[in-house]
Structure 1
Amino acid sequence: MYRFLLTPRWWGINVFVLLAVPFCVFMGSWQLGRFEDRVQDHRTAGEQAASAKTAPARPLAELLPVDQATSGAQATATGRYGKQLLVPDRELDGERGYYVLTLLRTDGGKALPVVRGWLPGDADPAKAPAAPAGEVTVTGALQASESPGQGGLPAGQTSAISSASLVNLVSYDVYDAWVTLDRADGGMKAVPATAAQGTGLDLKAFQNLGYTGEWFVFAGFVVFMWFRLLRREAEFVRDAELGLVPDAAPAEPAGQTPAGTSAP
């Protein structure tokens, strides 16, 4: 009954199934591995953030460039505060407000963006406390530059704490990093450090998990369709052997008589 499996048509079907199922399983396992890697990165980032809070502060130059190991580490820098900007639409403890960002001109000539604190409500330069005068030494959690934001904001505001954005607002170079003070000044709230980008259980991580399920479903679907086709073919062969398959010979066209007979 199953001799039809040796036909060229079924050879093609079988080869496709034998290739498709391992491929789907491999892709599903790969996506699952990507998800597990992100989970591990999330755990590692959490452990590093916890240890960074208790580790002694180090000079800024020793922690650059910012990576997963140095993100959140305590950094110190000395200089004089310069231009002050507001970063609107920033939430803290579920409340909408804005950051007060001041550029610290260091001895090296570059400026370090310093988030001195957070205030509630709409960005208002009149409410933002002025930066301390003279030479200061700041200590705070080191953060990597954010992705450049959109323009169109009023003067004195920036949508992202990014060196690519800030360099267009000042006449001097800006570090590709920023710090958030452990203790905000001027009555503002301190902004907590965030985890390094790509280390959290974000949407991409759960997309990997979703793709894992999809690939395994595809593998199961291929096997299901193979069994369905096999059963259908086997039933057709069985019916043909029992003579249950209707004659597929073409009918004679209307107005014609079979060969070998004469019309009345």
Structure 2
Amino acid sequence: MSSRTRVKAYLAVIALFVVVGTCLRLSWWQLERAEEKRVWLESQQQKAELPPANLASLLANDSPQHRRARVFGVMDNAHSILLDNRTLNRIAGYHLLTPMQTDEGQWVLINRGWLPRGNRRDILPDIPVIEGRVQVEGTVYQSPGEAFVLKDEQLPDNQWPLRVQKVDFHAISEKLGVELAPFEIRVTPELSLGGLDPLPRHWQDITVMAPEQHKAYALQWLGLAIAALVIFLFAGTRAQKRRLTGKPQ
């Protein structure tokens, strides 16, 4: 075997180890993600089966995400928030969040559902007013991360309803002059508030990939590793036969 052929063989072996090693690592990582997702989904299911909690219990919980909630109080109709860029059936619109003061004097944002934007962006939609003391049932929602915006937005001074690109609980709390809970409560679909027709509430959380999908990806990466190994062995065997028969490579 010439030195040039030997170098090419070494490089091929190194490339094989890199490719196979990377594929196996990615396959293992997908299996780890599948297990993490399984545990997380079981945890969320257990939370969903718990009885509804009041706001004080939710605030004392380190991980209230997706907990069922039941609160009583009065809506602050004068200071609603419109969460921009929320589509329903490809129609642009907003999520309508209204501050609520509970019977215990605590404050929380109630996500009442979806409102269409209308033909003109500079004209905000009318906000349905909820009068009197109401009971709200729903689930706790905390954003999994910072929402992407083109730049940090400054909340306008005298604009209500307030149109925002993301829900900054701290900034909105300062603007309202109250201490908001660090999460929203998404109202149960079809639940009427104050006798009003329910708004559409097809909540669109970030889609959670099922554990089975992670396992399928793991199998694909494993298949790529096996394919790379088979191709390497086939190419090596063919090259060896050519050397033995004296055929040019």
The alignment's TM-score, normalised by the length of structure 1, stands at 0.61
Structure 2 counterpart of 1:220: 227
**C-alpha contact 1:90 1:99 (8 A) present in aligned 2:** yes
1:117 and 2:116 are equivalent in the alignment: no
**C-alpha contact 1:91 1:98 (8 A) present in aligned 2:** yes
CA shift for structure 1 position 88: 3.2
Quickly say closer, same or farther: Cα 1:15–1:96, change in 2 above 3 A: closer
- What residue ranges of structure 2 are gaps of 5+ in the alignment? none
Match of 1:59 among 48, 54, 68: 54
**C-alpha contact 2:82 2:94 (8 A) present in aligned 1:** yes
Cα distance in 1, alignment partners of residues 91 and 103 from structure 2? 37
Cα distance in 1, alignment partners of residues 11 and 113 from structure 2? 65
Cα distance in 2, alignment partners of residues 175 and 46 from structure 1? 20
Quickly say closer, same or farther: Cα 1:172–1:153, change in 2 above 3 A: closer
Amino acid at match of 2:87: E
Amino acid at match of 1:76: R
Cα distance in 1, alignment partners of residues 166 and 221 from structure 2? 36
Cα distance in 2, alignment partners of residues 126 and 9 from structure 1? 71
Count of residue pairs brought into register by the alignment:
228
Structure 2 counterpart of 1:139: 137
Structure 2 counterpart of 1:158: 164
**C-alpha contact 1:24 1:216 (8 A) present in aligned 2:** no
Structure 2 counterpart of 1:91: 87
Match of 1:178 among 154, 179, 184: 184
Quickly say closer, same or farther: Cα 1:128–1:10, change in 2 above 3 A: closer
Match of 1:200 among 192, 208, 230: 208
Cα distance in 2, alignment partners of residues 212 and 24 from structure 1? 14
Cα distance in 2, alignment partners of residues 161 and 43 from structure 1? 25
Amino acid at match of 2:56: A
Cα distance in 2, alignment partners of residues 20 and 47 from structure 1? 40
Quickly say closer, same or farther: Cα 1:73–1:207, change in 2 above 3 A: closer
Query: Larger deviation: 118-127 or 179-188?
Result: 118-127
CA RMSD of aligned residues (A): 4.5
Write out per-residue CA displacement over residues 76-114 of structure 1, whole angstroms, 9 at most, x where no aligned residue: 334443321222332346654322211123577653111
Amino acid at match of 2:208: G
Amino acid at match of 2:114: W
CA shift for structure 1 position 142: 1.5
Amino acid at match of 1:101: L
Structure 2 counterpart of 1:37: 35
Quickly say closer, same or farther: Cα 1:128–1:188, change in 2 above 3 A: farther
1:191 and 2:201 are equivalent in the alignment: yes
- What residue ranges of structure 1 are gaps of 5+ in the alignment? 246-264
Write out per-residue CA displacement over residues 208-249 of structure 1, whole angstroms, 9 at most, x where no aligned residue: 85575245324422442344134324422442xxxx88xxxx
Cα distance in 2, alignment partners of residues 41 and 87 from structure 1? 31
Structure 2 counterpart of 1:129: 128
The alignment's TM-score, normalised by the length of structure 2, stands at 0.64
